Amino acid sequence: GNSVTQMEGPVTLSEEAFLTINCTYTATGYPSLFWYVQYPGEGLQLLLKATKADDKGSNKGFEATYRKETTSFHLEKGSVQVSDSAVYFCALSDIGRALTFGSGTRLQVQP
């Protein structure tokens, strides 16, 4: 079956540091890949997506590249802000199957 594995958190960074949150996946088909963000007390919001190999999704300074050869979709940001503190979920969607989420990675950015 499909699965998503994320690095465990929390990830604690200082403001303006470089961020990487690792995500790898297992899928039988050709999934679409997503990153969702959950700010404190809120529901999840779609952050970015990529639908095929080598696609790069980007939004709000965050980027992730769909790497089929390494089955990865790592989230990166060049300079994090305190307002980026949240829980980040990697997810995949395959035709005919429900969205599969990773367990989430909490990011804490300190001023």
Nearer to other proteins, 69 or 95 (CB): 95
Nearer to other proteins, 17 or 106 (CB): 106
Report, in Å, the least distance between residue 70 CB and other proteins. Answer: 20
- Please check whether residue 24 is in contact with residue 7, taking contact to mean a CB–CB distance below 8 angstroms: no
Report, in Å, the least distance between residue 51 CB and other proteins. Answer: 5
DSSP per-residue string spanning 15-77: TT--EEE-EEEE-SS--EEEEEEE-TTS-EEEEEEE-STT-EEEETTEEEE-BTTTTB--EEE
Binding site for other proteins (CB under 8 A): 30-32, 34, 36, 41-46, 49, 51, 89, 91-95, 98-99, 101-104
Nearer to other proteins, 6 or 77 (CB): 6
